[in-house]
Structure 1
Amino acid sequence: MSTTIINILISGLIGTTAMTLFTIFVETVTGKDLGEPKYLNRLISTSVHFDAKIGDNHIFGWAAHYVIGVLFAAVMVAFRSISGIHLTTLNGMLLGTALGIMGIIGWTVMFAVHHDPPKIDFPLFMAQLIVAHILFGATIAFYYR
């Protein structure tokens, strides 16, 4: 396995963990349920397309969350490679913002097409999602400094 792929995997896992810890912090401060893996599991559990009743902390939601994080890290590395721009904290945060917007679009679509989406504080969820992705981008940039 190439060094680039290993670094993408490691940075994606670290960045996703950083944003997940931030989400847990916001959950603790607000008392609201904001965990992305939980929401993924709830969407699957209540889906008419899957015959699976899984709990909030099922491994599937966590695995999907981390796979998406690694894919987002790969996007950042591809941006760096294609543009030739070094990943600084600032442009890592800007890329994180862009990834957060992509995340908002993805969650909005998933909730819109689902017949019974989880009842959540959507504005709070989206606000913390943007900040979490800014932290993700900064973490990836720090890894590659």
Structure 2
Amino acid sequence: MDIKHFLITILSGLVGTVAMTLFMYLYSYVSHSFTKVIHILGNMLVGESNFYSPGKNALIVGIAAHFGVGVLFSFAYFLLWNWGFFQINLVDSIIIGVISGVLAVAAWKSYLTLHSSPPQFSELNYFLALFLAHIVFAVVSVNVFQIITDNPELWYQLQEEAKLSQ
């Protein structure tokens, strides 16, 4: 991975995370369910119990953790593209989003189950919002990457070209 693709991958992860977060907060507003992921994550990580009104430390930790995970998802997508599992297009970004959503729901369910004092909120609404938000994340992240990178030289394509030229 060259520096250009490294930076584009980080940017696409950050932009995708912004879109995902906005979706989660919009879902919270429309459904009147508490799905504010940064609030919940930050409070759970720092051990605060007021999930609805987090302190400054909880917000900072929640933002850093949420955006950090978003960038990691973006790098995972980049690796999957490079290994030839997915193409950089709308249909595959939705598939990646669905897979990411299922993984995120499973991870969050485990985290809530194992946490010493998990927040009390509708898990059904939270998990539905989380699942849909990962589709939003994937579509936005992939499209940002695609818009900025007109022709990424992916590893699997370079390997295929090298085989053909032998």
1:102 aligns with 2:103: yes
Equivalence map 1:81-120=2 (5 Å):
81-83=82-84, 85-120=86-121
Any unmatched runs of 5+ in structure 2? 49-53, 147-166
> Amino acid of the residue matched to residue 25 of structure 1?
L
* C-alpha contact 2:13 2:73 (8 A) present in aligned 1: yes
1:94 Cα offset (Å)? 0.6
Equivalence map 1:1-145=2 (5 Å):
2-46=3-47, 55=55, 58-83=59-84, 85-145=86-146
1:45 Cα offset (Å)? 3.7
Equivalenced residue count is 139
> Amino acid of the residue matched to residue 138 of structure 2?
G
1:11 Cα offset (Å)? 0.1
Distance of 1:40 and 1:116 partners within structure 2? 12
Q: Name the SS for the 2:119 alignment partner.
A: coil
| TM-score (norm: length of structure 2) | 0.78
CA RMSD of aligned residues (A): 1.7
* C-alpha contact 1:34 1:125 (8 A) present in aligned 2: yes
Larger Rg: 2
Q: Name the SS for the 1:58 alignment partner.
A: helix
Give the 3 Å change call, closer, same or farther, for CA 85–41 of structure 1 in structure 2.
closer
> Amino acid of the residue matched to residue 95 of structure 1?
I
1:44 Cα offset (Å)? 2.6
* Residue deviations 1:90-141 (CA, integer Å, cap 9, x gap): 1101101111111111111111111210001100100111110011111122
Moved over 6 A (4+): none
Percent of residue pairs bearing the same amino acid type: 24
